[in-house]
Structure 1
């Protein structure tokens, strides 16, 4: 069967996305490849279609049991035979899976790196292997953001199976990580396929300087504006995940914490409830991946700033995997920057991690289109602003802040650059705190000169001074503030300084609004009533309920039955026959036969 026929029959699409066709033909021809494609960009199809087109079995190496389970369920729901070998199986199930593989009944076998190494010399040698696909390939590199030691042994695949093509896939890898992947996996003359990192369906927003109570107020309003939407809140520590989840539950929102300190049973239960839409909000540590292929996550909030743009990009990538609009919000503060800097300094790769943190900080503090910064980080340039980030929506106002900058820098200098930011603010505000009184800073000429500004304003302005390079923090000397050379230029009147106006509006979450129209592909079939292109929201909710019912009957998560994007298409195009239903993008032959009559019957009632 040709690859377009496979795409239509099993996955319900009539065309490939960027690079997919070229990657598939390259691998089917027996070549190695490194595939860099954003989360939700369609990486899995790049090895699933070769698996169906080639004789034998494709081995997919994946680091997370939960992710394997999701992939296997998704493939089975499309009528494709797939299994997973990992430590979560009992010996009897493993025996059954091995027999099915040896009998040629399985097209894709998902396996953990540890299990692969254990099975390599015996079981694997008896299989007709058509392709090795190494998913989450950045895990092999010390330079990657999620290094896993067990991945470093995968280089032996080339020695044990010299004639089997290999494909490494990842969503986030800078140039140094990509080179490391090629070297460690011993890929031969591998072509690198780098797809666009642009996820235009994701809105990007940053909120700076919010206190804990203000964050919670914002999050509550944000969730209330999205009552049926699933989302993830990423936090810096386990303690914070539990506190945020508990605070949300007190307000009547069904939320749970998820971190490495919980038992495997607790994590598994939370994961299953989230996948099955029984739990809509998960508060997770950024250090622990969810490993869920859930396509209908409609928002991601970072309660704290992540340590790198790679981590941030992968985490926001969990939203809107189905291509439908989704929202992302990042909170950050000086406290986050100081804490993450300390983590970076204590790591084994201080210079690299400090540089990654600096780039993340530049993103958070930028006053230019945020999407352009993200794309530029991954070596992709664009000549226009995105129109779907907070900077594009509300360009910041600036004013001549020279006087305020001089006040702060003067306070630092008069205290011999031996104080922290908090003490600078206390001096400017004229606060007789223990730190101020102990060192006699109340006698400084600058004591109280900035009393008319609020604490919040001073914190914001000092953060701006840090990002503009007027001051730096000596992290190796008790986080003390040092005035830089360009800071001296402002302090001594050689140069002016612009500051951004502090937003004094109430820190409310914006109401949910459709920034992007979901692109619904038009289909032309004789007898199809002309579509208005306007979605029926009541029909969408009815379809969502029917999807949930089908999922519960089969023990699948709802998004595996149909994605939100498919439901939006159905609620817009409103097909009233099986033929029309089967031409909706994302509905293959298997799902058309399995669910078509029930969904068409429901749509007919509304039409």
Structure 2
């Protein structure tokens, strides 16, 4: 945009008649229409005025409309902004703490740096502004022209660091090369729009972040009468947000027709950074059982997290109280990693197998009710294939033995048979190398007792609780990322930042010792993986 502004300045200095308007500036659309009319009038008078239109929307229908309005016989479109190669693209699930999450990210990763926050909901924008204080300005639908111009002046002069937007100003008016972060509180209309927004950050070539927060409700097509092109754009946006296996930069460039970038992974985005292998899995059987579970729990008004825990076989106090652990559907998905179960229920929501009635931002606590398509899973032609994170241990062994259901606790006296304890060394604890979760669990409990004695801790839970040890004994992680993910998943903490801190602390104090047990205990056929 700096080059375009320079070109316009040179035109003015040369006394050339130039009309400049941003074709995508919704807040000043009337001014743009007026500019079109004035330019067309002068064009008819002189018939030699060169016309340049700046637009942030490069979709062919938009370009054709602009050309028709100006009655251009021949025209060329130039792409001003590429997505910077130094831009790190990330997508995250939106929660009820979205405002606090955004402010925390800004303070921790980009304190004192310039950034843009797109937020359509006024309440969330006000909360962000309150927490950021004088370093931010908020331009929303009720902002008058004077306040908007003042905020833009302070933004470009560097007086403020963060500009919060609800209504979309012209992208040329907010572009700043040194913008270090770009945050969307919810997905834009389509991925084409997000592509243009992404070009606003990291224009100087230095590292920058673009984070998109979403809820599944944002991605669900609530209108059955939408035309095919609108449904296609919705599907493309949905695929981008829910993708975990492919480079986000590649996916974004594919969506806007950048064919030359199809195979150039960025190795920066959250999908590239996690390093997991993803495989196609047929989850038709699991989807049918999940739908049956949803129908069974219909009258109980249970939350999404509760349904997922029952499906995973978590025998929590609430599950036992309601007697659901005796259901035929309890633990139907215990052979799947929990993140795969979350992904499955998300897919079923988008297929309208289940629906909700509350605030969509409190995703885990949504009350699950059967959707209009809940019986679709009973159709013989129903099939569901998903790309999920590969878990070689579970996929090769199948369902864990019934003697050790995932997440089963030890409060029941009938389960005291596998609570043997002893103060053994790490290697001796797992030296048999047998492929039996029950024996690995016992070895881990022995190690836990040893650590408790060595460190003088008050109880075994100060190391790791039984639930976490049982999950570790089945999944048998091979690196610190998997270990921390499992510990975080099994924690009783509700806040994500507290879960992260808890998992990091457990890894630093005990992680490597338990990881040694997992590695030594793996059977020879898996040792090289």
Q: Do Structure 1 and Structure 2 share a fold, with TM-score over 0.5?
A: yes
State the partner residue of 1:368: 246
- Structure 1 residue 328 and structure 2 residue 248: aligned? no
Tell me how far 1:444 sits from its aligned partner.
Answer: 6.9
1:197, 1:479 → 2: CA distance? Answer: 44
Matched, 1:188 2:108: no
Figure out how many residues of one structure are paired with residues of the other and give that number.
Answer: 375
Q: Distance in 2 between matches of 1:259 and 1:479?
A: 38
* Aligned partner (choices 375, 379, 389) of residue 257 of structure 2: 379
Any conservation in 2 of the 1:305–1:336 contact (CA below 8 Å)? yes
Q: Structure 1 41/390 Cα, relative in aligned 2: closer, same or farther at 3 Å?
A: farther
- 2-structure distance, mates of 1:42, 1:157: 26
Contact 1:407-1:449 within 8 A present in 2 as well: yes
Aligned partners of 2:80, 2:154: CA distance in 1, in Å?
Answer: 33
Give matches, 1:407-446, under 5 Å: 407-413=286-292, 426-430=306-310, 445-446=328-329
Deviation at 1:280, TM superposition (A): 1.5
Q: CA RMSD in A?
A: 5.1
Query: Per the alignment, do residues 417 and 163 of structure 1 end up closer, same or farther by CA in structure 2, a change over 3 Å counting?
Result: farther
Equivalent residue number for residue 590 of structure 1: none
| SS of residue matched to 1:170 | coil
Write the distance in 2 (CA, Å) between the matches of 1:220 and 1:116.
44
- Distance (Å, rounded) in 1 between the aligned partners of 2:296 and 2:70: 50
Could you tell me how far apart the structure 2 residues matched to 1:316 and 1:284 are? 15
Which SS does the other structure have where 1:164 is aligned?
A: coil
8 Å CA contact 2:22–2:53 kept in 1: the answer is: no
* 1:189-211 Cα shifts (integer Å, max 9, x gaps): 2234456834223221222x352
CA apart distance, 1:425: 5.6
Cα 1:394–1:160 change in 2 (3 A) is farther
Distance 1:295 1:63 in 2: 21
Aligned to 2:174: 292
1:225 aligns with 2:109: yes
Does residue 239 in structure 1 map to residue 123 in structure 2? yes
Tell me how far apart the structure 2 counterparts of residues 488 and 324 of structure 1 sit (CA, whole Å): 53
**Partner Cα separation in structure 2 for residue 229 and residue 174 of structure 1:** 32
TM-score by length of 2: 0.56
What's 1:394 paired with? 274
The Cα offsets for residues 384-429 of structure 1, whole Å up to 9 and x where unpaired, read as: 21233222222334478767x6444323257679979986664454
- Taking the aligned partners of 2:276 and 2:227, their CA distance within structure 1 comes to 33
Contact 1:428–1:449 (CA<8 Å) still a contact in 2? no
- The answer to whether the Cα contact below 8 Å between 1:406 and 1:490 also exists between their aligned partners in 2 is no
Aligned to 2:62: 177
Instruction: Tell me which residue corresponds to 1:276.
Output: 157
Q: For the structure 1 residues 211 and 175, does the alpha-carbon distance in structure 2 shift closer, same or farther, using more than 3 Å as the test? A: same
> In structure 2, what is the equivalent of residue 197 of structure 1?
82
CA distance in 2, matches of 1:498, 1:414: 21
Match of 1:359 among 224, 231, 236: 236
Higher relative contact order (CA 8 A, sep 6+): 1
d(CA) in 1 for partners of 2:45, 2:375: 57
Specify whether residues 282 and 228 from structure 1 end up closer, same or farther in structure 2 by C-alpha distance, changes over 3 A only: same
Structure 2 matches for 1:51-130, cutoff 5 A?
A: 52=13, 56-62=16-22, 112-114=32-34, 117=37, 120=38
CA, structure 1 residues 481+372, in 2 after alignment: closer, same or farther (shift >3 Å)? farther
Q: 1:57 to 1:369 in 2, by over 3 A?
A: same
Secondary structure of the equivalent of 1:206? Answer: strand
Query: For residue 262 of structure 1, what is the aligned residue in structure 2?
Result: 143
- 1:229 to partner: Cα distance: 0.4
Distance, in Å, in 2 between the alignment partners of 1:472 and 1:428 is: 17
Aligned in 2, Cα 1:180/1:392: closer, same or farther, shift over 3 Å?
Answer: same
Tell me the SS of whatever aligns to 2:53.
Answer: strand
* TM-superposed deviation, 1:323: 3.6
Offset from partner CA, 1:449-479 (integer Å, 9 cap, x none): 5699999875444225678xxx45699x999
How far apart are the structure 1 equivalents of 2:238 and 2:353?
14
Task: Name structure 2 gaps, 5 residues minimum.
Answer: 358-368, 392-480, 489-495, 501-529
Q: Secondary structure at the residue paired with 1:167?
A: coil
Contact 1:232 1:300 in 2 (8 A): yes
Q: Which has the higher helix share?
A: 2
Q: Secondary structure at the match of 1:297?
A: coil
CA drift of 1:350 comes to 4.9
Report if the CA contact (8 A) 1:409-1:487 is conserved: yes
2:371 pairs, out of 480, 483, 495, with 480
* 2:50 is the alignment partner of 1:165: yes
